[in-house]
Structure 1
Amino acid sequence: MILSVKNVTKSYGNLHVLKAVNLACKAGEICGLLGANGAGKTTLFKIILGLIQPDSGTVTLNVKGVKPIGGIIEKPALYEYLNARENLRLFCKIQGLKLSDSELELKLKEVGLPVDRHDPVRNFSMGMKQRLAIAIAMLNHPKCLILDEPFSGLDPLGITALRGLITDLAEKEGLAIIISSHIIEELSKICNMLYVIKDGSIIKSGPTQELIVHNTTSYSFSAPDIKNARVLKGYEVQFKGNSASVQLKAEEVPKLIQKLQEEQIYITSCVPELNMDKLFDYSKV
């Protein structure tokens, strides 16, 4: 295990921000931290990065090296009047690292940034700034990477590109990566493990797809003429165009699809509809 967080607690006066939080992430694994704004995600990340101290509990990094962990908190901290290469060079100096121009160019290429742009970073899109911030976080080869709301402010293409970069870093570099977000759709596509945080407590955790299945109460089926399906009269259904939102359990899905095919209604997509109220319900752990 690269990172282990055990019983971490943090309060500010009477405000209990974190309550006995436990979390772990191993090499090559992407762990998601799902929670609403104010749930304690950023505070936990600051403690993991050593920026603030917990009241109690421990954070253990089983890594040797100059820089065991890197991260981005809240938003990329860049020198906007400098270009990408100059930002990298400055952060190298801060970290006591000397890289040649060719090595700096390689760092830019590794995160998918153009090497022929020399204009200030303030002209970059948010997605490009996130990529540059990841390149800076990766200086000195950390084995653990912390990303706080990395998809915030990105358009769909930017989200897809950044998701691919993060996946590559985990798979090819063997990094332990922890991502916080309030967007379950993005975490479900990228994370091996998911931790759900509410009011400073981890209320649910486990393999991402298992949590999604356990907290899904309906599925959206798409097919031409699905409104005419006789079998759906036995279910609680909401129709919208060529889609039907059907309340049923995961194990009932194959049987329903088979019955629809018997009526010559062929499903083009079947999408689980996560019940967020159930996912964030303390009583259903």
Structure 2
Amino acid sequence: MQQIVKVSQLTKQFNSLTAVNQLSFSVESGDVYGFLGQNGAGKSTTIRMLLTLITPTSGEISIFGYDLNKHRKEILQQIGAVIEKPDVYKYLSAYENLKLFAKLSGVKPTNKMLMDQLEMVGLASRAHDTVKTFSQGMKQRLGIGIALVHNPQLIILDEPTNGLDPQGIADIRNLILILSREMKKTVIVSSHLLNEIEQIATRILIIDKGRKLVEGTSAELFNDQQTILQISVANNDIAIQTIQASNWASNLLPERDGHIMVGLNKEDIPNFNRMLAASGVDIYSLQARHSLEDYFLQVTAGKQHVGTFTN
């Protein structure tokens, strides 16, 4: 597959704060690339460097095979972006906003082109209503429509579901899938809503304190044979001592919300349960967990900076 974005040893310092620390990753053509991290992890700073809104302290960014520093104008002409809440003119209609931004992008739009674009983002029926009457979700969809008006190859969305209700979140999720599957766009989406990323991302990057923790496809990051087991017991200390003294010591994960966490192959769960019970541990519940949220909490709790799973 064609490599659309390549970031190498990217670093950004603000005085004594290192917001992004030697970050390297790549995005391939057709990816819905989920960019994950806790608040303050460096996601937005990285995205702003990709869009040349801030200058890196060091490192390299290549987009479409060209150095971003040397070919800024040509590269940005092929990128559409929405950074958090879109900045639109609330006293103009959706149609007027789209027409204005199309002209600013050097596009000479026809009425059909503008209406097709509004239809694509689900706003054709409100085309001539002023934006001040729109919900936040509608404004987000209009922002994405504006980002697409010049038919870019790469779409970058920074927290596109911030402040949206469940229906608004679902609308943005479905729109991203349309961009990827039907329009064949490459999409980078930054979000803290792990469940949403799990449903749409083809590849995932997790960062913490500006450094890469892991990168890869869901299949590469999640071991289908392994289940994260959440255990509730009468006495955590006794249970942990029991596990550490057993053959399962290496399976023990950091505790979460007062629960013991263990990574096990599915077929080993019955034997593990019997071992705890035979050791006199009072077990209240064993709950199997296997989701992006569980994986994210596992790797960020460990704070273990590991290399990419892909070459």
TM range (shorter): 0.7 to 0.9
Q: Closer, same or farther in 2 for the Cα pair 1:161/1:22, shift >3 Å?
A: same
Equivalent in the alignment of 2:187: 177
**Is the CA contact 1:25–1:31 (under 8 Å) kept in the aligned structure 2?**
yes
Match of 2:44 in 1: 42
Report the CA distance between 1:49 and its aligned residue.
Answer: 1.0
Tell me whether 1:122 sits opposite 2:132 in the alignment: yes
What SS does the corresponding residue of 1:11 show, helix, strand or coil?
Answer: strand
- Equivalence map 1:266-281=2 (5 Å): 272=290, 274=294, 276-280=296-300, 281=302
Shift of 1:208: 2.4
Q: For residues 240-279 of structure 1, what are the alpha-carbon distances to aligned partners after superposition, in whole Å with 9 as ceiling and x for unaligned? A: xxxxx996656416987xxxxxxxxxxxxx8625154422
Aligned positions, number = 249
Indicate which of 21, 24, 28 corresponds to 1:26. Answer: 28
**2:213 and 2:304 in contact (8 A); partners too:** no
Q: Please, which of 198, 204, 208 is the counterpart of residue 214 of structure 2?
A: 204
Distance 2:297 2:230 in 1: 16
Give the structure 1 partner of residue 240 of structure 2. Answer: none
Residues 27-62 of structure 1 deviation map (CA, whole Å, 9 limit, x = unaligned)? 211011111111111111111112111111111111
8 Å Cα contact 1:29-1:176 kept in structure 2? yes
Which runs of structure 2 are paired with 1:137-148 in the superposition (5 Å)?
Answer: 137-148=147-158
- The DSSP-based 3-state class of the residue aligned with 2:290 is strand
For 2:168, the equivalent position in structure 1 comes to: 158
1:2–1:143 contact (8 Å) kept in structure 2: no
Q: Tell me how far apart the structure 2 counterparts of residues 66 and 17 of structure 1 sit (CA, whole Å).
A: 23
* Identical positions, percent: 35
Give yes or no for the alignment of 1:134 onto 2:144: yes
Partner of 1:99, secondary structure, is: coil
1:66 shift after superposition: 7.6
Residue deviations 1:133-181 (CA, integer Å, cap 9, x gap): 1111112111111000111111222212211110111112221111111
- The CA distance in 1 between the partners of 2:13 and 2:75, in whole Å, is 31
Name the structure 1 match of 2:245: none
The Cα of 1:113 is off from its aligned counterpart by 1.3
Local SS of the residue matching 1:167: helix
1:148–1:181 CA contact under 8 A, matched in 2: yes
Which among 218, 222, 228 is matched to residue 217 of structure 1?
A: 228
- The Cα shift of 1:209 comes to 4.4
* Pair 216,120 (structure 1): closer, same or farther in 2 beyond 3 Å: farther
Give 2:105's aligned residue. Answer: 95
Equivalent residue in structure 1 for 2:303, among 271, 282, 285: 282
Query: Structure 1 residues 209, 122: CA separation in 2 closer, same or farther (over 3 Å shift)?
Result: farther
Q: Report the AA paired with residue 211 of structure 1.
A: L
Q: Secondary structure at the match of 2:124?
A: coil
Preserved contact between residue 61 and residue 68 of structure 1 (Cα < 8 Å): no
* Cα distance change on mapping 1:189 and 1:143 into 2, 3 Å: same
- Relative to structure 1, the CA distance from residue 154 to residue 116 in structure 2 (aligned partners, 3 Å threshold; closer, same or farther) is closer
Structure 1 pair 99–198 and aligned structure 2 pair: CA distance change class (3 A): same
How much does 1:83 deviate? 1.0
In 2, Cα distance between equivalents of 1:49 and 1:25: 15
Q: Separation in 1 of the partners of 2:33 and 2:174?
A: 15
In structure 1, stretches of 5+ residues that fail to align are 221-244, 257-269
Which residue identity does 2:100 align to in structure 1? L
| Alignment check: 8 A CA contact 2:94 2:126 kept | no
Which consecutive unaligned segments of at least 5 residues does structure 2 have? 66-73, 232-258, 271-287, 307-311
Q: Alpha-carbon deviation of 1:77? A: 1.3
- Normalised TM-score (structure 1): 0.78
Q: TM-score, normalised by structure 2?
A: 0.72
Q: Is the 1:17–1:43 Cα contact (8 Å) retained in structure 2?
A: yes
Q: How does 1:33-72 map to 2 (within 5 A)?
A: 33-62=35-64, 67-72=77-82
How far apart in 2 are the matches of 1:186 and 1:250?
26
Residues in 2 aligned to 1:9 and 1:66: alpha-carbon distance in whole angstroms: 21
Asked whether the equivalents of residues 207 and 214 of structure 2 are also in contact (C-alpha less than 8 Å), the reply is yes
Match of residue 239 from structure 1: none
Taking the aligned partners of 2:221 and 2:43, their CA distance within structure 1 comes to 19
RMSD: 2.7
Say if 1:219 and 1:272, in contact at 8 Å, map to a contact too.
no
